[in-house]
């Protein structure tokens, strides 16, 4: 049989994995990337350690404009094939509370293993190749850079989303796919810090504390997330904020008002007014004469205490035991549900992934082949599927590439 040519646009996570899978099936594989090296973004992942997968791949960690389709794209059978794939290229996982990293805790290990395997199998790398346009004439794809035109039997769009454009992923996937008639679902930054509305953010800048966050609109709860929050001079950051950001951006772009309610007592296991009042009464019994500032400083980072006292319209010299029930409730209410109105997220250059993208409705979930153009495949973050922090976005990059590879006929 004649060797079939596959050209992969994007030598990132999904592109490199797909190249290996296709070459193992006997295809002639070329990977082009606009950067001068492959896998640039991979080096930044997991703060340089690359959280490449998770032990718990539950569907609740994934999001899409068409949530009902997620289960067919993130299927159990392919999830089970991810770690064996990495074992086959020499990567063993290090399990940190279910978050999986390469055992060296170095992103470069995983990137090098992918590149080495692809090179060793005979894939051709064409760095600094910026794909501007793809056309299909008869049965052949024509792939245009500003100075070269290549042809291929199959094309894979693995050019990422709009997040972290300095890594090369700047939205070209959408342009290339839409030239074949694909629908692009609205794209927003996700896994990104959030800007609040308020004049007090400079006062809590630099604080880190565990808290429970509830994102809501005027009328409904969007999502909750618990963990360490980073308080910044513009609002909120940290993993648990990132995990709310995609859904918040969707609501903000629908013109809704969005708020985050912070439970600062979460770290003490307190979620209700009753529990909080009893906790504080017991504390007041032990620290009977202490003023409010000292009383609260033992519980919260010192930068937060004057802010809490002021916002509850109390004075730092007051003693907790002497407060009226109304005053106690006012303070406790603030600590249980400190509301930050959200203005917007930071931009794509600070977002780890993007909400939205190429519609899942137009892609075959078993092969990742376009339903609109035979021989065109679409992988990874370019698609309208995004995950929480924890290895879910790289997880989907591998899953989509493995699906494509499995579906290819052997040409050996």
Residue 160 interacting with ligand FAD (CB under 6 A): yes
Nearest distance in Å: CB 349, ligand FAD: 9
Sign of CA dihedral 360, 366, 368, 369: negative
Residue with tokens 């004469």: 289
Residue 402 interacting with ligand FAD (CB under 6 A): no
Q: Residue 312: helix, strand or coil by DSSP? A: coil
**How many C-alpha atoms does 129 have within 13 Å on its Cβ side?**
21
The site string for ligand FAD over 17-36 (x = CB under 6 A, - otherwise) reads ---------------xxxx-
Interface of this chain with ligand FAD, residues 193 to 252, rule: CB under 6 A: none
Q: What is the CA radius of gyration of the chain?
A: 25
Pairing of strands 208-216, 194-196: unpaired
Among residues 353, 361, 354, the alpha carbon closest in space to that of 70 is found at 361
Among 373, 393, 402, 403, binds ligand FAD (CB under 6 A): 393
Q: Return the number of other C-beta atoms located less than 10 Å from residue 113's C-beta.
A: 18
Among residues 166, 156, 164, the alpha carbon closest in space to that of 358 is found at 156
Whether 369 and 363 have beta carbons less than 8 Å apart is answered as yes
Scanning 82-90, 181-189, 204-212, 385-393 for contacts with ligand FAD by CB under 6 A, the matching segment is: 385-393
Nearest distance in Å: CB 304, ligand FAD: 28
Which residue, 33 or 344, has its beta carbon nearer to ligand FAD?
33
Nearest distance in Å: CB 207, ligand FAD: 23
Residue 163 interacting with ligand FAD (CB under 6 A): yes
Residue 93 interacting with ligand FAD (CB under 6 A): no
As a whole number of angstroms, the distance between CA 95 and CA 47 comes to 16
Residue 352 interacting with ligand FAD (CB under 6 A): yes
Among residues 342, 339, 323, the alpha carbon closest in space to that of 277 is found at 323
The size of the interface with ligand FAD (CB under 6 A), counted in residues, is 41
Burial string for 377-410 (b: 16+ CB within 10 Å, else e) reads: bbbbbbbbbbbbbbbbbbbbbbbbbbbbbeebee
Residue 41 interacting with ligand FAD (CB under 6 A): yes
Which residue, 78 or 393, has its beta carbon nearer to ligand FAD?
393
Q: Which two tokens stand for residue 41?
A: 């973004």
Nearest distance in Å: CB 163, ligand FAD: 6
Nearest distance in Å: CB 402, ligand FAD: 13
The site string for ligand FAD over 120-159 (x = CB under 6 A, - otherwise) reads ---------xxx--------------------------xx
As a whole number of angstroms, the distance between CA 328 and CA 174 comes to 54
Nearest distance in Å: CB 399, ligand FAD: 11
Residue 6 interacting with ligand FAD (CB under 6 A): no
Phi-psi category of 387—alpha, beta or left, where left has phi over 0 and alpha has psi -120 to 50?
beta
Nearest distance in Å: CB 42, ligand FAD: 6
Residue 115 interacting with ligand FAD (CB under 6 A): no
Interacting residue ranges for ligand FAD, rule: CB under 6 A: 9-15, 32-35, 40-41, 44-46, 50-51, 129-131, 158-160, 163-164, 167-169, 172, 352-353, 380-382, 391-395, 397
């Amino acid at each position: 049989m004649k060797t079939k040519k596959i050209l992969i646009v994007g030598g990132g996570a999904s592109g490199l994995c797909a190249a290996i899978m296709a070459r193992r099936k006997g295809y002639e594989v070329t990977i082009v990337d606009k950067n001068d090296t492959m896998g640039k973004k991979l080096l930044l992942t997991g703060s340089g350690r690359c959280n490449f997968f998770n032990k718990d791949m539950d569907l609740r960690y994934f999001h899409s404009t068409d949530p009902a389709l997620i289960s067919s794209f993130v299927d159990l059978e392919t999830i089970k094939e991810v770690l064996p794939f990495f074992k086959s290229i020499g990567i063993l996982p290090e399990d940190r509370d279910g978050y999986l990293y390469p055992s060296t805790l170095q992103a470069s290990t995983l990137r090098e293993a992918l590149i080495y395997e692809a090179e060793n199998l005979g894939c051709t790398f064409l760095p600094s190749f910026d794909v501007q346009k793809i056309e299909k004439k008869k049965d052949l794809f024509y792939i245009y850079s500003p100075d070269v035109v290549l042809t291929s039997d199959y094309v894979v769009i693995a050019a990422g989303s709009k997040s972290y454009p300095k890594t090369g992923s700047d939205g070209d996937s959408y342009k290339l796919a839409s030239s074949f008639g694909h629908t692009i679902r609205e794209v927003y930054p996700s896994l990104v810090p959030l800007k609040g509305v308020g004049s007090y953010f400079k006062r809590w800048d630099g604080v880190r504390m565990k808290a429970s966050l509830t994102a809501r609109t005027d009328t409904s709860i969007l999502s909750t997330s618990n963990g360490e929050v980073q308080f910044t001079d513009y609002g909120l950051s940290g993993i648990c904020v990132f995990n709310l950001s995609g859904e918040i951006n969707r609501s903000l772009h629908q013109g809704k008002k969005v708020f985050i309610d912070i439970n600062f007592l979460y770290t003490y296991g307190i979620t209700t007014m009753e529990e909080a009042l009893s906790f504080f009464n017991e504390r007041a019994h032990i620290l009977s004469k202490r003023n409010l500032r000292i009383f609260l400083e033992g519980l919260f980072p010192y930068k937060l205490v004057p802010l809490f006292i002021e916002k509850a319209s109390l004075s730092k010299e007051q003693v907790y035991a002497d407060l009226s029930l109304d005053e106690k409730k006012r303070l406790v209410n603030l600590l249980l549900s400190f509301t930050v109105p959200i203005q917007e997220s930071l931009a794509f250059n600070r977002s780890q992934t993007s909400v939205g993208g190429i519609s899942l409705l137009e892609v075959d979930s078993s092969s990742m082949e376009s339903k609109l153009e035979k021989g065109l495949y679409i992988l990874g973050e370019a698609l309208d599927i995004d995950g929480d922090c924890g290895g879910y976005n790289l997880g989907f990059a591998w899953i989509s590439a493995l699906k494509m590879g499995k579906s290819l006929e052997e040409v050996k």
